[in-house]
Amino acid sequence: MRLTVNGEAYCTEKDTVRELLGEMDIVPERVAVEVNLKVIKRSEYAGYQLREGDSIEVVYFVGGGKQGNPK
Amino acid sequence: MEDKLVIRGIEFRSRLWIGTGKYRDFEETARAVEASGADVVTVAVRRVNITDRKSENLLDFLDPKKYKILPNTAGCYTVEDALRYSRLAREAGVSDMIKLEVIGDEKTLFPDTIGLLKATEILAKEGFMVFPYTNDDPIMARRLEDAGAAAVMPLGAPIGSGLGLRNPYNIRIILEAAKVPVIVDAGVGTASDANIAMELGCDAVLINTAIAGARDPIGMAEAMKHAVIAGRLAYRAGRIAKKLYATASSPLEGML
């Protein structure tokens, strides 16, 4: 299945958010996930079915205070 | 004599809040935060690097059990983006606190207060504790408060400028009217700036660049800690009135 993860093309056999995170070696407790602009609750990762073409964002906290990163 | 900052039932150990950008590495960030005595650290929300998973995680250095992690929407220029980052931050984090920034302009990084007000209204309704980064405008501060902000965070000067409080009179007017805490956010350049903000009666100060960009960030973090404590104590003790002429402090009686 072809997905877009954080803006990059990504091919996988995994079909839930939880399995996808596992494949990418990402600890679920440290991130937030959005599928097609919808935030997915952590408790729903295991049951959330991914579909061909889904656009996924995986974000976490980084150092940043007030620099307001230019666009 | 307890003088703890309490916002919506949450108790804060320190009136100095710290930004975590611009440090050399996570270790230096952690040491500076430790030296500052702060318990609130603000962090940005960004994409995980999915191709290089070995990179270290900030939260390995700043234990969320020890510190209150305050996610921000730094870098957001629209209401939609600010809402999106806020909702992701809530899911990634452990609380409903969000430091809301809707930036209006790349050169000044001044807030787009119209967008800020809209986003504050929406997020407050969704149960967020909203800490909006705003101008030193007393009317906007009131509007944000009415929209459900948990505190208001007026700038002292542009982000990262180190110019200090450019309009202490407006900050005083904001303080006079505000029913929510007032936290000066942005503009502090050195310890005296933080001190002045606290002497005016601000409830807290948020500092990033002045510490991270100092020659010795750990030393400056400690200086800021003392400046904020001293400023608060002076505010509570009540300063004397300024007078043009001298008033002798030694008695005239008993002089030869």
Flag if B71 and A59 touch (Cβ within 8 Å). no
* Chains A–B, number of C-beta pairs less than 8 Å apart: 133
Give the pLDDT confidence score for residue B182 in this predicted structure: 98
pLDDT tens string, chain A, 71 residues long: the values are 999 999 999 999 999 999 999 999 888 888 999 999 999 999 999 999 999 999 999 999 988 865 444 43
- Per DSSP, B111 falls in state B
Flag if B206 and A66 touch (Cβ within 8 Å). yes
Residue of B216, B111, B198, B124 lying closest to B159 (CA atoms): B111
Set B54, B65, B66, B99: catalytic member:
B99
Q: How do strand B16-19 and strand B204-207 relate by DSSP bridges?
A: parallel
What are the DSSP calls for B151-207, one per residue?
SBEE-SSSTT-----S-HHHHHHHHHH-SS-BEEES---SHHHHHHHHHHT-SEEEE
Instruction: Compute the CA torsion angle A19, A21, A22, A25 (nearest 10 deg).
Output: 160
- B33 Rama class: left (phi>0) / alpha (psi -120 to 50) / beta: alpha
Rounded to two decimals, the ipTM of the complex is: 0.89
* Residue A33 to chain B, least CA–CA distance (Å): 7
The whole-number average pLDDT for the span B119-124 is: 98
Q: In this model, does residue B144 exceed pLDDT 90?
A: yes
Give the pLDDT confidence score for residue B252 in this predicted structure: 87
Flag if B48 and A25 touch (Cβ within 8 Å). no
pTM of the model: 0.92
